[in-house]
């Protein structure tokens, strides 16, 4: 029994080590492929960046706005009902900034992007690999690592950055409108409280998160997209792509919050 458990843990550790090594090699190949940038015409990447930004950013706007409204409202309702009990209702703005701008906005936005675009990236690449589209590109002398991964990273950074800003703004406005149904707070007071609560650190932390999420989401999803060697492996690796990107996103979120607010 104990022996079996030790063997299982050992195998698990070896799998993790091999996975990390393989992912490092993938990143190395991406970095190497960046050198091809000087050989290619940027116009061939431009269309992909535009299309990916439209799919990841613009097309996700409606769902981001709805979720931002709902989450913003939930936070405000909880704040309005709980803060007076502790006599700290004056800290409503601080609470909104802490919960929505610092944590909920970046994380919820990234989770939406992972669910929509991360899974789409992994599926698209796996299907392209299976139908030998990627092989065809390689045989045209196209650096597929650069051609496929690089535009998605750029599009993802731009989209996540934009969506986080929109999420925060909508959550604040939505929260304010919901709050109005319970208690009257003048608009200028509400706005001033929010502005006073924002610090430069909050903005840089949100920026760092959007850049790191923007790199991590397409990178991990592309990595798993390139993995399947047969058709039946496609759903297995797409599922892995989504779950592991979610996991990494939460870890990155904690790491950045720790670096910016704890250390």
Partner 1 sequence: MLEELILEVKNVKYTRDGVTLLNNISFSLKKGEAMVIFGTEDSGISHLFDVIIRGDVSFEGDVLYKGSSIKELDYFSLMEYKEEIGYLHGDYGLISNLSVEQNISLPLEYHSSLSGAEIKNYVNKLIFDLNLDHCKKLRPFQLSRSEILKTAFARSIANEPDLLYLEHAFENQCYLNIITIFDILKKRIARKDKSLIIVTYRPENFIDIANRFIMFFNGRIVFEGSKDEFLYSQNPYLIQYKTNNPEGPMVIL
Residues that bind partner 1 (CB under 8 A): 32, 35-36, 39-41, 43-44, 124, 127-128, 131-133, 135-143, 147
Residue number, 128 or 210, with CB nearest to partner 1: 128
**Beta carbon of residue 127, minimum distance to partner 1 (angstroms, whole number):** 8
Residue number, 17 or 35, with CB nearest to partner 1: 35
Residue 252, classed as helix, strand or coil, is: helix
Q: How far is CA 79 from CA 99, 108, 170, 181, in A?
A: 11, 19, 17, 14
Q: What are phi and psi of 150, to 5 degrees?
A: -55, -50
Residue number, 33 or 94, with CB nearest to partner 1: 33
CB atoms within 10 A of CB 72: 28
**Beta carbon of residue 165, minimum distance to partner 1 (angstroms, whole number):** 29
Residue number, 43 or 85, with CB nearest to partner 1: 43
**Beta carbon of residue 139, minimum distance to partner 1 (angstroms, whole number):** 5
Give me 191's structure tokens.
Answer: 């706005």
**Beta carbon of residue 26, minimum distance to partner 1 (angstroms, whole number):** 16
Residue number, 2 or 139, with CB nearest to partner 1: 139
Residue 62, classed as helix, strand or coil, is: helix
**Beta carbon of residue 156, minimum distance to partner 1 (angstroms, whole number):** 18
Instruction: Give the helix ranges, DSSP H, for 43-131.
Output: 43-53, 61-86, 92-96, 105-113, 119-130
Give me 232's structure tokens.
Answer: 């039946």
Q: Which residue has the tokens 């990236």?
A: 121
């Amino acid at each position: 029994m104990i022996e079996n458990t030790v063997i299982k843990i050992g195998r698990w550790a070896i799998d993790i080590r091999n996975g990390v090594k393989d992912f490092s090699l993938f990143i190395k190949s991406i970095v190497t492929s960046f050198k091809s940038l000087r050989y290619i015409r940027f116009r061939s990447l431009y269309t992909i960046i535009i299309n990916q930004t439209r799919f990841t950013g613009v097309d996700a706007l409606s769902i981001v706005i709805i979720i931002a409204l709902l989450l913003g409202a939930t936070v405000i309702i909880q704040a309005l009902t709980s803060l007076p009990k502790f006599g700290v209702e004056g800290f409503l703005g601080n609470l909104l900034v802490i919960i929505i701008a610092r944590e909920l906005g970046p994380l919820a936005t990234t989770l939406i992007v992972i669910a929509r675009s991360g899974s789409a990236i992994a599926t698209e690449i796996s299907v392209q690999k299976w139908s030998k589209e990627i092989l065809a590109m390689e045989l045209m002398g196209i650096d597929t690592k650069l051609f496929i991964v690089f535009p998605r990273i750029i599009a993802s950074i731009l989209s996540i950055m934009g969506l986080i800003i929109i999420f925060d703004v909508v959550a604040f406005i939505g929260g304010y409108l919901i709050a109005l149904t319970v208690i009257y707070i003048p608009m200028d007071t509400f706005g001033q409280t929010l502005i006073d609560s924002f610090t430069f650190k909050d903005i840089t932390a949100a920026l760092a998160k959007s850049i790191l999420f923007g790199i991590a989401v397409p990178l991990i999803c592309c990595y798993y997209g390139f993995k399947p060697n047969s058709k039946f492996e496609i759903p297995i690796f797409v599922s892995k792509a989504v779950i592991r990107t979610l996991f990494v996103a939460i870890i990155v979120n904690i790491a950045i919050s720790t670096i910016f607010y704890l250390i």
